[in-house]
Structure 1
């Protein structure tokens, strides 16, 4: 992504409803699967917004290819973040109980390769957690601005993980309650040719607070149930063995 998108992300993530509610949901799911003190690697960690919250309970590390992202992480005091690519940076052979790909693999042409490489970084019984944008019919200017290659469904993401040698433990859509509104806005935007806007831009404060509360409320559902649709998709998977095949 261009530097301006990282700058926009850093500027808006502390107040914007999507960043705030998403972080709370992700923390809830992570804590449900991974014990405190576990080693966590956030691949494509961006500005460090998630790592900053995780560092209080986990042994965190981050990796991002963009210098601007790594600099923002270091400004947050996250000196555990390195610049580089998965497969090239080895972290001195350290193994992780959790490897995160949070809205990352949709940017990568060969998503199968990068998800496969992640297995090298997992400790015994380690897991990967992946979030991606859902449903190709929701494709919009936002996807193009952020250089997305694709959006996913439960079926396509499950297939990817199986081909990479994983077993899916949990998969769900999320950002479900706001799905009808977002789908309508994107459809109208595509029809009218409004193709220069990013979803990361701030809303009116009242609207922002309302959207935050609605999205955040999904915390009580995850990871206890699997939601049937949503703007995004989340999965937790482990390396396939003879025991879980």
Structure 2
């Protein structure tokens, strides 16, 4: 099923019908249409529109199986299913109004083919005392990414790395660095670990700095607003997961 594709075909059929002054409430005699090119063309456009309407109008049975990730999406989907039976009209102006309403509704609805496949796999070796917090952050990160909240996604990547590096520092020193330096950032955490002779892989350090840099640009106000792209965000998430795997 491709509701959006069927709906686009309906919009095109309606636009074409209006352009050629086709009416749905007027029967076109097929015998006369065979002898009149213009009449035959209008009959073709009329049938194409009727077929497109029927296809979209019968969609509710299939749409009922779609589950939305948000309350707003579900509300719009329910409203859409209420409107579809009303497409069974021969009034072109009414049909145009319904089409406009549907056009607005489907912007809020996620259809199966549009869902982003999850690539966020939770590492198994996360220490038990921070695991629940990290798992919650990763699940929230997944929701943000799927809903195209890319700045929020990058900010959560930084939060996950901070939790992991705090735990790494505790493993080495037995001290909770947050007690002495509650606002310590990722760069300073790496420096503190280096002071304790914890040699992180240079590639890992570069990944942490890169995630932190994108996070800083996303959080702090700049002259020009910064919003990471989908590809940049995906890269930051993959770096974060890789760092978690290698830290413990």
TM-score (norm 2): 0.23
Query: If you compute each CA radius of gyration, which structure gives the higher value, 1 or 2?
Result: 2
The answer to which structure, 1 or 2, has the higher relative contact order (CA under 8 A, 6+ apart) is 1
Structure having the larger proportion of residues in strand: 1
Structure having the larger proportion of residues in helix: 2
